[in-house]
Amino acid sequence: MHLEYKVQGGNFSKAGHASGEIKKVLKQLNVNPMVIKRIVVALYEAEVNIVAHAYEGDIIVDIDDSKVHVVLNDSGPGIPSIERAMEKGYSTASPLVREMGFGAGMGLPNIKKNTDELNIKSVVGVGTTVDFINYL
């Protein structure tokens, strides 16, 4: 099963919308609630990352009977050091974004914690791809 969603950078009022929709689908597919929880945490963090940092992006989800594969593509500033971004508490979020309650530097570490396979590719000035798999 294939799902696609568009995410707009800076649109904080809609942040989490795609994650919510995907959660609804996973519930109907009878995926174990605890597995859904992990996927939704990772997905929400990654979606908010696009909203907080990038100009725009899309989320592509493929589901089969063994796994959920999620790819988040964005065009945006990119991540200069993925290694540093994986550290807890490290954040490049603007003061404005932080004021809204985002940008605590827990995004990528949280995604790592809640996924079975995680692959991040980024080109500075072009964009970032977050690709993760959770097994069912």
Partner 1 sequence: MEKQSPSSIFHAIYVDEDRCIGCTRCMKICSTAAIRICNGTAMISNSRCIDCGECMKACNSNAIHISQGDLQSIFKYKYRVALIPAVLFGQFKLDVTHDDLHRALLSLGFTSVYEEELSAEFQIDAIRRFQQESDIKPVISSFCPAIVRLIQVKFPTLTENLVLVKSLIDITGLTILKEAANKGIDPSDVGIFYITPCAAKICAVVSPVGDEKSPITGFLNMDMMFDRLSIELQKIKGTVDPDFKRKTSLTRTEVKWSLTGGEIKHAFGRKLSIDGIANVIEFLNKVDDEAIDDIDFLELRACDQGCAGGILTQGNRFLTVEKLMMRANKKAVNKRHGPYYSDITYDEIKVPTVNPRPIEGLDKDISVAIKKMEQKQEIYKMLPQLDCGCCGCPTCEAFSEDVVKSLKPLSSCMFIQVAFNSKNDKGKEIIKKIWGDSKIVEELKNKLENDN
Q: Which residues here bind partner 1, judged by CB under 8 A? A: 1, 16, 19-20, 23-25, 27-31, 33-34, 36-37, 40-41, 44, 63-65, 136
83 in helix, strand or coil?
Answer: helix
Sheet holding 67-75, edge to edge: 2-8, 56-63, 67-75, 127-135, 117-123
Give the residue with the Cβ less far from partner 1, 33 or 95: 33
SS3 content of the chain, % helix, strand, coil (to 5): 40, 30, 30
Nearer to partner 1, 75 or 110 (CB): 110
Choice between 110 and 129, CB closer to partner 1: 110
Q: Shortest Cβ distance from residue 39 to partner 1 (Å)?
A: 10
Separation of alpha carbons 8 and 111, rounded Å: 20
Least Å distance between CB 101 and partner 1?
8
**Exposed, middle or buried: residue 126 (CB in 10 Å: 0-12, 13-18, 19+)?**
exposed
Min dist CB 10 to partner 1, Å, is 17
Of 12 and 90, which CB lies nearer to partner 1 in the complex structure?
12
CB of 17 to partner 1, least distance (A): 9
